[in-house]
Structure 1
Amino acid sequence: MNFSQALRSARQERHLSQLDLALRAGTTQRHLSFIESGRSQPGRTMVVRLGESLELSLRDRNDLLLAAGYAPVYPQTGLDDPALEHVRSALDHILAGHLPYPAIVVDADHNLVLANDAFSLFTEGVAEKLLEPPVNVLRLSLHPDGVAPRIANLSQWAQHILDRLPPGEFRDELAAYVPHVEPGPDHVGFAAPMHLRSPRGDLHLTTTITTFATALDVTVAELKLEAFLPADAETAALLTQGLGN
């Protein structure tokens, strides 16, 4: 896909008119029309502004620059690189501070990057093959040899996960692990709690997801911190009692 096609496709996916995007990017509809038709070649700064105005991910902004014939602007640094030591340190502090509740950091493919000690609640008794790096936390959650047998509301939790995924092979794989159940009147989407059976007792957990929206590195921008929180006082007490065990 060339630059003009990529730009038009990204704009249409976001249901923006040419005028809407032009106003966001600080240009004219006429100029944007010329760019999308290939009659005008935008400068690098304009391509960056268009990517920002479309709220593309940093990875997609780099792809847009490449399609326009420019080098990527946003670096992609390995998390183990010394340049990101401050990021790793901050993440370690956040994960430790979330104890006694489980918390993890995953990458764009939902592979586990970091976890605090309380995440062992989810790995107890799961098949070793699911714990071989890279550990995909969604597969770990829904696989029959993973956490799934201990999730009392598996169909609802599975729907919560599948709703977050785009169509594709990975979504089809996960969907095949659980029976298909049409969402009922009580389906609440992202707010669906997980009812987890554990040696400490039955836990009712809800989740929050934090992203690093102002990051200027592709790796950091794609990280997600998922924190599991008690959905009731009983769960909070059970998790607190397990602190230090």
Structure 2
Amino acid sequence: MTTVALDTGVGPLLRSWREQRRISQLELALRADSSSRHISFIETGRSRPSEEMVLRLAEHLEIPVRERNALLVVAGYAPRYAHTPLDDPAMGALREGVERLLEGYEPYPALVLDGRYDVVAANRAVAMLLDGVAEHLLVPPLNVMRITLHPEGLAPRIRNLRAWRADLLAQMRRQIALARSVQLRELYEEVAAYPLPEGDGSPEDEGGGDASLPFALPMLIEHGGHVLSFVSSIATFNTPMDVTVAELAIETFLPADRDTADLLRSLTA
């Protein structure tokens, strides 16, 4: 994934991350067990940080693993984190565990996404929801944002599209701010420009006013003459040591009402 380099040299790059996180030099120094003077010297290029210091500052600035490798290279050190393809034999245990998780979640939809919102794996319940999606959107790699928001994708079937769309775009903006990815920015600009389906009259807050669901915004989607209601949950891996693993996310869709749960069980049976 291509990222944005705001300046050359590790000092300016660290400063840009610190300013983006809205942390003062003093606060960062306290977190990293250093001094504001030393942080200032690093940011201005007067002092070359050790490899340990680069990693320590990156940890406290919550810099993504991929960007930590980039910082190390700019500082003159070797990348610390591997970037192993998911189909590599070394990832066998991870793949098996994820596949079991997806199967175990059936009959409810669950899928695995990478850092570009491309679908890496999915269970059978997800395939069921893709009925009617235009073929050009189902050409690998499937991108969940395109499939969901495109006028020929799921968008015409989502009852509370305006509210769900606003939530997805806000999620993408947060991810862009975290990763500063050119590819994510381009994807955001593409899907944000998709027109809403003709005749979409759903208010901005539709789907969020259900008194029985005060805890999360559900996605209300039509399927086979029924309206299914789902609440989305996203899980990531703790303390990832590989770029690929760091960028994986497991999204699951929990039935938000008994009718949806019963219907999914009957369809699977």
Tell me whether the two structures share a fold, i.e. TM-score over 0.5.
Answer: yes
Please provide the CA RMSD for this pair: 2.0
1:178 aligns with 2:195: yes
1:191 aligns with 2:216: yes
* Residues 167-216 of structure 1: per-residue CA shift (max 9 Å, x gap): 7332222122234998459869x932111111262101110000113211
* 5+ long unaligned stretches in structure 1: none
For residue 152 of structure 2, what is the aligned residue in structure 1? 145
1:63 aligns with 2:70: yes
Spell out the pairing of 1:1-245 with structure 2 (5 A cutoff).
Answer: 1=7, 2-166=9-173, 168-179=185-196, 183-184=204-205, 191-199=216-224, 201-244=226-269
Q: Distance in 2 between matches of 1:186 and 1:198?
A: 16
Q: Structure 1 length as normaliser, TM-score?
A: 0.93
Q: Distance in 1 between matches of 2:18 and 2:207?
A: 35
What letter is aligned with 1:238?
L
Q: In structure 2, do the counterparts of structure 1 residues 93 and 14 end up closer, same or farther at CA, with 3 Å as the change threshold?
A: same
Q: In structure 2, do the counterparts of structure 1 residues 102 and 200 end up closer, same or farther at CA, with 3 Å as the change threshold?
A: farther
* 5+ long unaligned stretches in structure 2: 1-6, 177-184, 210-214
- Range that drifts further, 198-207 or 80-89: 198-207
- Tell me the SS of whatever aligns to 1:163: helix
Percent of pairs identical after alignment?
A: 47
Q: In structure 2, do the counterparts of structure 1 residues 11 and 104 end up closer, same or farther at CA, with 3 Å as the change threshold?
A: same
Q: Distance in 2 between matches of 1:191 and 1:132?
A: 31
